Amino acid sequence: MTCLVYVHLCNRVPFYVGIGLEGRPTSKKSRNPLHLNVWNKSVEEEKFEVQVVYRGTRRECKDLEKSLIREFGKRVDGGLLCNFTDGGDGGNTVTPENRERNSQRKSVSMTERWEDPSHREKVTKSMKSSDKVKRHTSTVITNLSPEKYEKFIEKKKERSKELWNDPTYRKNHAESMETAREKMSESQLERFRDPVHKEKHRQSVQKKGKFSQEELNEKYGSMKKGCHWWVNPEGVTRQCLESPGSEWVRGRKFPKED
């Protein structure tokens, strides 16, 4: 089967040399990220071009690919090409030295990007996008076969049981939940100290429930008038007029013993 050598160009300047069969020059499958990035940008700028420079045997194409990569040079070595290897057999020619150099280059690049406030803001917004995470999770689960889905659920259940049987995990979980509740309570109190937020919340409740302030006061105000919060040693809280029992104390958090 005839093999070919091709070159990708941006504005007539080569940025990648490769070998393969018919169709490989225009395929984006199994490309390195740097190559894809330059490729996509050159297409957007309408400067992308593919040239098939040779057709022949596999051995002849390998030798020519190596020769062209040496001639143009790799970007990691200060040249023009996005190739990470010296050519010949594609990804199989990655050397430990190339891998280490690429890793260091990527680390420096990511550090420089993270120092940009606008980039950090974009990453933060992306991570906070719960819809994006849900879509990704839903897609992954949907693509599973019924057998793989059942195995996925079983492994998840087993893992949950193993974690919950660990006393340390249960203790840390309880402490983290208590900390989360305290932070949420403090956050809500802080927000409701703002008159503007308080008024917006009041209007939102009235709009959703379609009740006026007088109707809300009449419906709920009398029910809790004179009530207090009570808590027992187990941390269970209840709102009522009088103490539910001898072990209950006023407040929402049971006092710790000295």
Which DSSP helix (H) or strand (E) runs through 7? strand 3-10
The pLDDT score that the predictor gives to residue 151 is 82
The pLDDT score that the predictor gives to residue 140 is 53
Tally of residues, the chain: 258
Return the closest-CA partner of residue 87 out of 121, 55, 58.
58
Please check whether residues 175 and 253 belong to one and the same domain: no
The SS3 of residue 210 is coil
Please check whether residues 79 and 18 belong to one and the same domain: yes
The three-point CA angle 25-29-33 to 5° equals: 100
Please check whether residues 212 and 230 belong to one and the same domain: no
> Strand 13-20 to strand 228-231: parallel, antiparallel, or no bridges (unpaired)?
unpaired
Number of domains in the chain: 3
Q: Are 71 and 65 in contact (CB under 8 A)?
A: no
The pLDDT score that the predictor gives to residue 93 is 47
The pLDDT score that the predictor gives to residue 163 is 85
> Does the residue 199 lie in any domain?
yes
Looking up tokens 């009530």 gives: 227
Please check whether residues 237 and 184 belong to one and the same domain: no
The pLDDT score that the predictor gives to residue 128 is 64
DSSP readout, 106-160? HHHHHHHHHTSHHHHHHHHHHHH-HHHHHHHHHHHHHTS-HHHHHHHHHHHHHHH
Provide CB contacts within 8 A for 28, sequence distance 6+.
36, 39
> Does the residue 90 lie in any domain?
yes
The pLDDT score that the predictor gives to residue 119 is 84
Phi, psi at residue 221, to the nearest 5°?
-60, -45
Please check whether residues 7 and 89 belong to one and the same domain: yes
- For residue 78, the one-letter residue type is G
Q: Are 5 and 18 in contact (CB under 8 A)?
A: yes
> Does the residue 200 lie in any domain?
yes
pLDDT tens, per residue, the chain with 258 residues: 689 999 999 988 999 999 999 889 999 888 898 999 999 999 998 899 999 999 998 889 999 999 999 999 988 888 899 998 888 765 444 556 666 776 777 777 788 888 888 888 888 777 666 555 555 455 555 566 778 778 888 888 888 888 888 888 888 888 888 888 888 888 888 888 888 888 888 777 766 656 666 666 666 665 666 788 888 888 888 888 888 888 888 888 877 765
Helices (H) and strands (E) in the chain, counts: 10, 6
Please check whether residues 177 and 207 belong to one and the same domain: yes
- Which range of residues forms the domain containing residue 180? 166-217
The pLDDT score that the predictor gives to residue 18 is 93
> Does the residue 58 lie in any domain?
yes
> Does the residue 255 lie in any domain?
yes
Please check whether residues 202 and 245 belong to one and the same domain: no
